[in-house]
A and B are shown apart, each in its own frame.
Chain A
């Protein structure tokens, strides 16, 4: 296949179908497996009853089972999906912004910024004027500060090299993680300091509820729709800012759209999941090899692929050392970090 770009329509549809099937499979397995074993048939019946709001199927299971399936496992699996989808889309956006396949919210330190902001909101009571939304607001504010810091360190004369990008990310990430640790250990009076610090450093989806899921989905869908409208502009932007401008793209406006969208998305996602790394790095890269760089196909595939990736890592995280749970960020790093190394090895660091 050398010399041809793999971006035909047929290839897109096959990949789409494959990913959808895998999502369905992982969804079923995730909901079925757990401390309480429930048959897939019963789960289907619970789902139908809940969605229709009527008892279509006769209830032949315990109320506790229904509660576990409907109020714990389903929100968690769906949360895994939307978190992964959001992080992968952020990766796509950061890569179009920097023209560099190594960029993603974790590598650039934006996730750490968002998590520090969320911890500020929880422990210092900042942003309390936002009421119930103070954590999500704090995370978004943290993301905004860190994205500005990271990008301004990374760019020299308006250009961002891979080396600069990675170094800026390390510095930003270290700074905000230190803040988070300082607050958790210094200010937190609770006894679960280590647990809380861990949550904000390596992520967890164990706190997923329907009400949290609702606002993440709303924000996620709005951002996805807005970004999808700019698919063509994102394509042209990949050619470089100078070229994009001579072709007629207002790059300043596009950069603003990208930065605002990815800040909001990272903030919201991190506020419900903590820091989960590498999703935005691994997923877009794999999807590009299947459907090409064009954003009209890449965006939907990155969203679905990111969802699948996180659902799968979450499933592994809660089954591999059952009955205890491994933080999802640890599992994601086992996949992501080698991949990151591979991308660096491939010669991105050497060029330019």
Chain B
């Protein structure tokens, strides 16, 4: 499963949010999307999964315009974990996860025994075994996030789009979730807040700033002191983590340089 975005522009209320975005995610890649708050990451992702309507001829899945997919076909190809939204009505955790199977079903087809098994497996992977009959709304933010991830896995799509999947999560779950995603035989495109996490897991990183893509490449190529200084406005020390073999970023607040204590 591959994704191409060609010359995507997007405006909200006359204000340009995305300008001439071009990118490609190849089959089997794990691609991260990074950039400071408000740079347009979520807007770009929403254009890809069609919550916002991209222009014709801008977003392609396997070289087919996403606008030509029915919602059901699209959900079969692409699973989405958006940032948590407020829900007014309560469901059991199991129902919440089972909704991931919707796109695989024909009209009026019920849940099979395999679906139930898969549901158990997905909940186990996110560490929520035994939560099947818990109320979704009673869960903590991190638990909800993991339920939604289980639902994404339940979709069994070849392409997964995530918007900050490790928000709200304890540090151990951040790594566990990334491991789960990395372990699936799927293509992943995810916005990521934590740059060290991005360095550790991504094959490629897309760097956004003020609605434009400003850099693209491997973590080593993109996560540089110069980029961090220019776009995140923070000094950093970047070393190689001897245990992981990946970059390790240490942030250096301004007072270190000036010699004044905080």
* B134 x A249 contact (CB < 8 A): no
* A101 x B135 contact (CB < 8 A): no
Q: Name the residue on A nearest B52 (C-beta).
A: A242
Given A248-B102, A292-B92, verify A4-B135 contact (CB < 8 Å). yes
**A100 located at the interface, meaning its Cβ lies under 8 Å from any Cβ of chain B in the complex:** yes
- Nearest Cβ on chain A to B50's Cβ, whole angstroms: 7
- Nearest Cβ on chain B to A163's Cβ, whole angstroms: 14
- Nearest Cβ on chain A to B8's Cβ, whole angstroms: 19
* A238 x B87 contact (CB < 8 A): yes
* A5 x B134 contact (CB < 8 A): yes
- Nearest Cβ on chain B to A217's Cβ, whole angstroms: 24
CB neighbours (8 Å) of A251 from chain B are 71
- Alpha-carbon separation in the docked complex, A235 to B53 (Å): 24
* B92 x A248 contact (CB < 8 A): no
**B115 located at the interface, meaning its Cβ lies under 8 Å from any Cβ of chain A in the complex:** no
- Nearest Cβ on chain A to B111's Cβ, whole angstroms: 10
* A245 x B71 contact (CB < 8 A): yes
* B51 x A245 contact (CB < 8 A): yes
**Bitwise interface map of A from 223 to 267 toward B, beta carbon under 8 Å scored 1, else 0:** 000000100100110111011011111110000000000000000
CB neighbours (8 Å) of A236 from chain B are 99, 102
* B86 x A352 contact (CB < 8 A): yes
- Among listed B72-80, B116-124, B189-197, B212-220, interface-contacting one: B72-80
Instruction: Select one of B51, B72, B85, B90 contacting A248, CB under 8 A.
Output: B72
**Bitwise interface map of B from 57 to 88 toward A, beta carbon under 8 Å scored 1, else 0:** 00000000000001110111011101001111
Given A239-B87, A240-B87, A292-B91, verify A248-B135 contact (CB < 8 Å). no
Q: Name the residue on B nearest A298 (C-beta).
A: B89
CB neighbours (8 Å) of A292 from chain B are 90-92
- Alpha-carbon separation in the docked complex, A325 to B79 (Å): 58
**A64 located at the interface, meaning its Cβ lies under 8 Å from any Cβ of chain B in the complex:** no
**Bitwise interface map of B from 92 to 111 toward A, beta carbon under 8 Å scored 1, else 0:** 10010001101101011000
* A247 x B100 contact (CB < 8 A): yes
* A250 x B86 contact (CB < 8 A): no
CB neighbours (8 Å) of A232 from chain B are 102, 105, 108
* A246 x B82 contact (CB < 8 A): yes
- Alpha-carbon separation in the docked complex, A238 to B90 (Å): 9
Interface residues on A, range: 20 to 34
Given A232-B102, A242-B51, verify A5-B70 contact (CB < 8 Å). no
Q: Name the residue on B nearest A99 (C-beta).
A: B88
* B133 x A4 contact (CB < 8 A): yes
* B80 x A246 contact (CB < 8 A): yes
* A238 x B71 contact (CB < 8 A): no
* B82 x A242 contact (CB < 8 A): yes
- Nearest Cβ on chain A to B213's Cβ, whole angstroms: 24
CB neighbours (8 Å) of A2 from chain B are 138
* B91 x A248 contact (CB < 8 A): no
- Nearest Cβ on chain A to B177's Cβ, whole angstroms: 19
* A248 x B88 contact (CB < 8 A): no
- Alpha-carbon separation in the docked complex, A352 to B88 (Å): 11
CB neighbours (8 Å) of B138 from chain A are 2-3
CB neighbours (8 Å) of A249 from chain B are 71-72, 102
CB neighbours (8 Å) of B135 from chain A are 3-5
Instruction: Select one of A7, A95, A229, A243 contacting B92, CB under 8 A.
Output: A7
* B89 x A3 contact (CB < 8 A): no
Q: Name the residue on B nearest A296 (C-beta).
A: B110
- Nearest Cβ on chain A to B49's Cβ, whole angstroms: 6
* A235 x B87 contact (CB < 8 A): no
* A247 x B133 contact (CB < 8 A): no
CB neighbours (8 Å) of A348 from chain B are 88
List 20 other contacts, CB 8 Å, given A95-B89, A240-B85.
Answer: A2-B138, A4-B133, A4-B135, A5-B134, A7-B92, A99-B88, A99-B89, A239-B85, A240-B87, A242-B51, A242-B82, A242-B85, A243-B82, A245-B50, A246-B49, A246-B82, A249-B71, A251-B71, A288-B89, A292-B92
Q: Please, could you name 30 A-B residue pairs with CB atoms under 8 Å apart, sorted by A?
A: A3-B134, A3-B135, A4-B133, A5-B91, A5-B136, A7-B92, A7-B95, A99-B87, A101-B88, A229-B107, A229-B108, A232-B108, A239-B99, A240-B85, A240-B87, A245-B71, A246-B49, A246-B51, A246-B75, A246-B78, A246-B79, A246-B80, A247-B100, A248-B71, A248-B74, A250-B71, A251-B71, A292-B91, A292-B92, A348-B88
Q: Across chains A and B, which 4 residue pairs bring their CB atoms closest together, nearest first?
A: A248-B75, A248-B103, A246-B80, A248-B72
